[in-house]
Structures are given as C-alpha cells and as structure tokens.
A and B are shown apart, each in its own frame.
Chain A
Amino acid sequence: MALLQIAEPGQSAAPHEHKLAVGIDLGTTNSLVATVRSGMAKVLNDEQGRSMLPSVVRYLPDGSIEVGREAQRHQADDPRNTIVSVKRFMGRGLQDIAHSEALPYEFESAPGMVRVRTRAGVKSPVEVSAEILKSLKGRAEAALGGDLVGVVITVPAYFDDAQRQATKDAAKLAGLNVLRLLNEPTAAAIAYGLDNKSEGVFAIYDLGGGTFDISILRLAKGVFEVLSTGGDSALGGDDFDHRIYCWMLEAAKISPPSAEDARRLMERAREAKEYLTTHDNAPINLRLKSGETVDVVLTTEIFTEITQTLVSKTIQPVKKALRDAGLRPDDIQGVVMVGGATRMPQIQRAVAEYFKQEPLNNLDPDKVVALGAAKQADLLAGNRTSDDDWLLLDVIPLSLGLETMGGLTEKIIPRNSTIPIARAQEFTTFKDGQTALAVHVVQGERELVADCRSLARFELRGIPPMVAGAPRIRVTFQVDADGLLSVTARETISGVESSVTVKPSYGLSDDEITTMLQDSMAHAKDDAFLRALTESRVEAQRLIEATQVALHEDAHLLDAAEREKIDQALAKLAEVIQGDNRRTLNMTMDALVDATNEFAARRMDQSIRRALAGKKVTEVADSALGAAAGEEKQ
C-alpha cells in the first residue's frame, strides 16, 4: 500500500503536483484508456503495444477471468462464458435486448437489469463491465507508475439514466473514482476542437459498435456548448454485422446454426464488413461444425442494399437534433466522424449527402473519444492552469416526466436542457386523510407511460392527514452534471420536512454493490476490508487537501472561531486517517464537511462576485465572440 503524505494544516499539499487521471472509452466492441502527459493526450498501450482492448470478458473453469484479446479467442469455443458487447445489456431488461434469442448466453430476467448465467455464477452486466474497467485501470497504473486520482468514463450521449447509473456502478465496483461521466460525442468534440482550434457549430456523428449518437455543438473560445443531442442506444456496427450474418445464412442456405457456429459466422461477417471498407467485394469461405459450408461473395452493392435501413435510421436522429437546435444542415460548419463504424463507405456517403459537405475524418475514429476523455480528466483533476482551460456545457438527451392519470406522461424536464438542472413539481392528495402518494418517474419522448422507460417508482409516506387537496408536497427532480437523476420530496404546508432520495429502479442498490465487491474478493476476505479502508483513506486525503487549498486561498472569509472549528476538524481527520477504524474515519470526514459547509458557500459567492466584476472590463470584446444562439423555441 502506498504511504499517504499528510501536509501540516494550513499548508497546501503540493498544489502543483501532477495528478494521475485518465479517460476511459468503455466501448461496445473495444475499450481504450488515455492520459495527458506533457500536455499531450496519448492512448496507453498494453505490454504488447496494442491500444484497443476488445470489450470481451471470459469466465474460465479454474475461476480466473480473462479480458480482451485472450477472451476474444475463445468466443467461438466457449460462447456461454465469454461475454461480448456487454454494453448493450447495461441498464437493460431482457425485453429491451434486440436479437437476444440469437445470442449464446443463458439470460436470467432480474428486476431492473438482465443477468447472464456463467460457470462463475450469475453475472450482472455491471460486474462484467467492471472487469473491463479493472483491466484498463491495471494497464494505466502500470504505465503511469502510481494510483489513479480519478477517471472520466465516456458514455453514449443517448444513454438514459439507467444506463448511466449502471456505468457509474461498474466504475465503483472496479475501484475507480469517477470524476465525470462524459458523453462520447462531447469527448470527441473536445479532442477535435482543441486540436484544430475550431470555432463555429459542428455536428459529431458517432457510430460505435452498438450505439449511435449525434450531437450538435457550438465551439467558441474556451466553451464547448452542446445545443442538442439525439441518437439510438441500440444501433451500431454490430447491427451491420448481424445483417451480413442473416444474409449469409440465406445465401448459403444454412439451417439455424449452433451457438458456436453462430459466433464463427458473426466473426466472418465482421471481417467481411471491414474488408469492404477498402475493397469492392469480400469472399466468405467457412466450414461449419455442422458440416455445412459457406462459400459466398458479399459485394459492396449487396452490403449497401441490406444495410440501407440501418443507415437511414441514423439520419432520422440527425434531422431531429438539428431541428431541436433550431438549425439547418447548411448551418453546420463541419461534421466530425467518430467510431470505427463510420469507416463504412455507405455511412460516409449518406452523411456527405445529408450535410452537403465532406465529413471530417482527420482524427482516428477509434481513439478520438478516449483522447477527449483524457483531456477532460486532466482538466477535472486540476492539472491545467486557469488560462489554459475550457468550459463544457452538456445537455440531458431524453425528457424526464411523471405518470399522470390515465397512463400519460407529463414532462418535467425537456430533452436538451443544459445540465445540471432541477425542476420542482407540487403534488397534493385527492382523498381526505390520505397519507401516502405514489410517484412514477419515466424517461422518454412518448406520450404514453408504457412507451417510456420507467426510472423510479416510489411512495411518499408520512404525509400529515389533511383534507383532500390541502397538503403541498414539493418533489424536486435534480439532474447532475453526469446526467444522473435524484429525487427529493418535502411536505411544505405542515412544516414536516421529510426528504427522500430515490435511486432509479434500474440501478443497483449500495448493498448490492457491496455484496458484489465482497464476492469479487471471495478469495481473500481480508482484502475486502483493507480495500474499503483504503478507499476511505483516499477519500479522506482528498478532503484534507481540498480543505487546505480552500483555507490557503480564502482564510479571510472566516472569523477566528470559525477557523478554529475547521482547523480542529482537519487536525482530527489527519489523526484518524492513520488508524484502521473505517467507521471513525467516515464520521470524522462527515464532521469536517459539516464544519466547512458555510465556508464553501461564502467562497462560491465571492468567486461569483469577482468573476462578474472582472467581466465588465472585457465584456465588449467577448460579446463580439459570443454570437447569439439560434432562434429560441418555446
């Protein structure tokens, strides 16, 4: 275990020290990790010099776990225990998964999220994803020679709350401190915009292995502002493979194949797709375990024809995103292509045709997301100076609403609202003496609740009995900068203030995560305890450092007594951080947080006042840059 360095209270703990932070692109097909070194974002390779880690996890008979290329090699001979494209299952129920019958897994329907039965037991997609993240974490720590302070993990912009929560849970399970969940197209825009010093309105067309995103951003000096986003979280390169697979079965007249043969056919389909990027036709020859043979030639024409509906399925969200931004195709200065699947010529053609311009392909479509995430991680870790940074304003991709009478939805937070955002809604009772109220939160654009995704169902209890319509229950929906929802409720008339925080029904409870953590540590029980303690210590150390920096900068905001209180709480924490009582450590941390609450508020007020005051001088120059946004829609 690394020794923790504790600075004397009042001294800032090496403020200019470079903090180790990475960006992770947790992809459907491949995952990458990147970091910023000497001001340059670089993808970190494995020991064999390979940058892409296939997002494949295999549970072996001896209880060990393989991730990446080694696991991928066994996807045909051990399909049930080799999980590929697990991202498609994140935050999803069995009924949500397309072609689940064609997949070789033994699915188990579980409340909230589907599970997969493997020889190592029943696994949640969160656990499988955590294995991929652990592998990347190990790679990064080996390459950088130290523990990571934090990570930025990218998610498809069109991921809903359940899928985001699942991703964050996976990171927690992998022992990573998530600085931010970052939308993939936004990450790409950061990498592209910073490298090319671009200004203007750009479209990011991101077709990955299993997800499609379109984001419209305004890039101005130091500001990345997402105007709108759209997409399809179940559409990607995999679907093109599947079309080829179906075509092969038909063209070669193959009877429904076994799980193993199906996997091999899918592999060939993928190879053929990639081959067609640079060739006009792809011969496919294969002898199946069933004894049947495949000997067909896939031409560019056939490929284009059988995937035409998929291509146009990407153009619909593009149109919608442009409309939401109040823009037309010719308002777009450039279209940045992201994701390996955008290499397909028919995609390039369709995008060029729609936007009437050649798309931009000057960044590696496989790496651009990881590179942008690395830059954002570097910024969030505090490694950049204030005159060399940027501001990122992102949006929520799907509307949040509530179920009302008759199974209809009432929108509370419309899609494409800039986050963080909060909205409050007042509820009342419809029966005399009613003491509980059911609230159902959904996400999606459709009018019927049944057509939207159910995020959370909860009951507000303990409402003081009053006549119908008298209680006023104020429910606040808060979406944070990760795009995650939390809900709190208050009864305002009676003065009874009860506050509940609701976790979406598709997320895992903290207990479940703890159990998974313990399970993964089954081989060494003591490790689980030590690890939890280490986590708390790292957290405590972060808190100490942040408080010291704050005191160093703004001690004048405190009177002597307040300062004394904070110093004491700080000294106490510095003392117990050495001990091995995790509970005491956590309680001492809470005490320090309480002691600094008011201080935090004053610091914020001060910085706002300063910023606005400084602004007056430079406003004239800046307002020329800040071109007014497009027409406002009501």
Chain B
Amino acid sequence: MDLSANYFALFELPTTFELDRAALDSRYRVLQAEVHPDRFAGSTDAERRRSMQWATRVNEGYRVLRRPLDRARYLLELQGFDVDAERNTAMDPEFLMEQMEWREGVMEARAASDLAALEDIHRRLKHTLEARYDELGELIDQRQAHAEAAGKVRELMFLEKLLSEVDDALADLEDA
C-alpha cells in the first residue's frame, strides 16, 4: 500500500461502479483513525507530514468514491477514458432538447417564485438521475462499454449541474 494506490485499492473495494456504501463508510473511518494528524500530534515532523498526506488522500478518495458521478469519472479514467478531454464531442440532439425543456421549466418556476413547481422539477430530476445511474452502472460493470459510458457521464454532468441550480433556486425561495 502506498500513497499512489488507486482509491478502490486503498479502500479495498472492488473496482466497480456498484458500491457497498456501508463498507466504504466503515473503512473510511478505520483508515482515518490510523492516519489522521490527530494521531500524530506528538510525533516527528516526518511522521506528521506523512500523516497529513495520507489523511488528505483518504479524504479525497472517500469524496470521489461516494459520489456516483465522481466515482464513474474516476473509474473511466482508470480505464484510460478522460471524460473532460472529450468535452467537445457533440451531444445527442434529443438530450439537448430535453435539457432546454428542463431549463425553461426551472427559469419559469424561478421567475414566478413557484415553490411547488420547483419541488416537482427537483423530484423528477432526482428520479431521472437515479435511472441514469442504474443504466451507467450496467454499462460499466456488466458490459464494459467504457466509451459509451463516458458519453453518459458527460450527460450526467449536465443534469447534476442542473440539479444544483434547482437546489440554489429552492434555497433562494426559502430564504426570501
């Protein structure tokens, strides 16, 4: 085990999109209990530096693995598919149309301060995301269709961004 081990190896989890969340959480705590700087407050400088590097690495791995979008991107990266590098690839026109419709809905609800409409969009968006992540899991884990998965991940990036915008709009409305 060394600092450059991939996150799945670090947490001793199978390199799959499907994730045993309870195992991830529990190993995260075990690892941090070992490497956290609080364990090395009285140690030598070298040990304290090492501890900070490890704790940083473990935090980063936990963050990447527990979020489905980051996990998928990371998995594809391990397979040699850089999702970001292919950002310019043309998107499916049907998907782009869908996007426009979602965005119009958000803008209208926002302009009308329509909390119920925003909450409805939020719910539907979450539902869509769940279905798409299931699909993505199958592409990666069962079919090893990495190129196709990379395309799906790019679409998911749009949807996640939209979801966070809906979250922001909801927050603004609640605060008003």
Spell out A's residues near B (CB within 8 Å): 19, 149-150, 179-180, 222-223, 316, 319-320, 323, 376, 379-382, 391-393, 417-422, 478, 480-481, 542-543, 545-547, 550, 592-593, 596-597, 599-601, 603-605, 607-609, 611-612, 615, 619, 622-624, 626, 628-629, 632-634
Residue in B37, B46, B174 whose Cβ sees the most chain A Cβ within 10 Å:
B46
Q: Mark B144-176, 1 if CB is under 8 A from A, else 0.
A: 000000000000000011011001000100110
Tell me if A626 and B25 are in contact (CB < 8 A).
yes
B96 within 8 Å of A (CB atoms): no
Cross-chain pairs A/B with CB under 8 angstroms, 30 sampled = A179-B41, A223-B29, A319-B171, A376-B38, A381-B42, A382-B42, A391-B29, A392-B36, A417-B63, A420-B37, A420-B52, A420-B55, A422-B60, A480-B52, A546-B42, A546-B47, A593-B44, A593-B46, A596-B44, A601-B50, A608-B31, A608-B54, A612-B12, A612-B27, A615-B27, A622-B26, A623-B22, A624-B22, A626-B22, A634-B164
With A481-B55, A623-B22, A633-B167 known to touch, is A607 a contact of B34 (CB < 8 Å)?
A: yes
With A391-B32, A420-B59, A481-B52 known to touch, is A632 a contact of B46 (CB < 8 Å)?
A: no
Question: In the complex, A609→B54 CA distance in Å?
Answer: 13
B68 within 8 Å of A (CB atoms): yes
Tell me if B67 and A632 are in contact (CB < 8 A).
yes
With A420-B52, A608-B54 known to touch, is A550 a contact of B69 (CB < 8 Å)?
A: no
Chain B residues with CB under 8 A of A619: 23, 26-27
Chain B residues with CB under 8 A of A481: 36-38, 52, 55
> Considering the complex, which residues of chain B in the window 112-144 have a beta carbon less than 8 Å from any beta carbon of chain A?
none
Tell me if A550 and B36 are in contact (CB < 8 A).
no
Chain A residues with CB under 8 A of B49: 600
Chain B residues with CB under 8 A of A622: 26
Question: In the complex, A278→B160 CA distance in Å?
Answer: 51
Nearest chain-B residue to A178 (Cβ)? B41
B21 within 8 Å of A (CB atoms): yes
Nearest chain-B residue to A632 (Cβ)? B67
Question: In the complex, A391→B42 CA distance in Å?
Answer: 16
Question: In the complex, A316→B63 CA distance in Å?
Answer: 27
Tell me if A611 and B42 are in contact (CB < 8 A).
no
- Expressed in whole angstroms, the minimum distance between the Cβ of A404 and any Cβ of chain B is 18
Chain A residues with CB under 8 A of B67: 632, 634
Chain B residues with CB under 8 A of A632: 66-68
B30 within 8 Å of A (CB atoms): yes
B75 within 8 Å of A (CB atoms): no
Tell me if B22 and A603 are in contact (CB < 8 A).
no
Spell out B's residues near A (CB within 8 Å): 1-2, 12, 21-23, 25-27, 29-38, 41-47, 49-52, 54-56, 59-60, 62-63, 66-70, 160-161, 163-164, 167, 171, 174-175
Question: In the complex, A320→B171 CA distance in Å?
Answer: 8
Question: In the complex, A547→B27 CA distance in Å?
Answer: 28
- Expressed in whole angstroms, the minimum distance between the Cβ of A28 and any Cβ of chain B is 26
Chain A residues with CB under 8 A of B43: 546, 550, 600
Chain B residues with CB under 8 A of A600: 43-44, 46-47, 49-50
Tell me if B25 and A623 are in contact (CB < 8 A).
yes
Nearest chain-A residue to B33 (Cβ)? A391
Tell me if B41 and A604 are in contact (CB < 8 A).
no
Question: In the complex, A601→B23 CA distance in Å?
Answer: 26
Tell me if B23 and A379 are in contact (CB < 8 A).
no
Tell me if A612 and B31 are in contact (CB < 8 A).
yes
- Expressed in whole angstroms, the minimum distance between the Cβ of A190 and any Cβ of chain B is 12
**What 6 additional pairs, Cβ within 8 angstroms, besides A179-B42, A180-B41, A628-B25?**
A481-B38, A481-B55, A543-B45, A603-B47, A619-B26, A623-B25
Residue in A379, A481, A622 whose Cβ sees the most chain B Cβ within 10 Å:
A481
Question: In the complex, A543→B69 CA distance in Å?
Answer: 44
Nearest chain-B residue to A545 (Cβ)? B42
Chain A residues with CB under 8 A of B23: 619, 623
Tell me if B34 and A611 are in contact (CB < 8 A).
yes
Chain B residues with CB under 8 A of A612: 12, 27, 30-31
Q: Per a CB cutoff under 8 Å, which of A222, A381, A597, A603 touches B41?
A: A381
Nearest chain-B residue to A614 (Cβ)? B30
Residue in B44, B47, B55 whose Cβ sees the most chain A Cβ within 10 Å:
B44
With A379-B38, A550-B44 known to touch, is A634 a contact of B160 (CB < 8 Å)?
A: yes
Chain B residues with CB under 8 A of A604: 34-35, 47, 50-51, 54
Question: In the complex, A609→B1 CA distance in Å?
Answer: 7
Chain A residues with CB under 8 A of B37: 420, 480-481
Tell me if B46 and A608 are in contact (CB < 8 A).
no
- Expressed in whole angstroms, the minimum distance between the Cβ of A261 and any Cβ of chain B is 40
With A391-B36, A601-B50, A605-B2 known to touch, is A611 a contact of B30 (CB < 8 Å)?
A: yes
Chain B residues with CB under 8 A of A609: 1
- Expressed in whole angstroms, the minimum distance between the Cβ of A487 and any Cβ of chain B is 14
Residue in A319, A604, A607 whose Cβ sees the most chain B Cβ within 10 Å:
A604
Chain B residues with CB under 8 A of A223: 29
With A382-B42, A612-B12, A634-B69 known to touch, is A323 a contact of B59 (CB < 8 Å)?
A: no
Chain A residues with CB under 8 A of B171: 319-320, 323
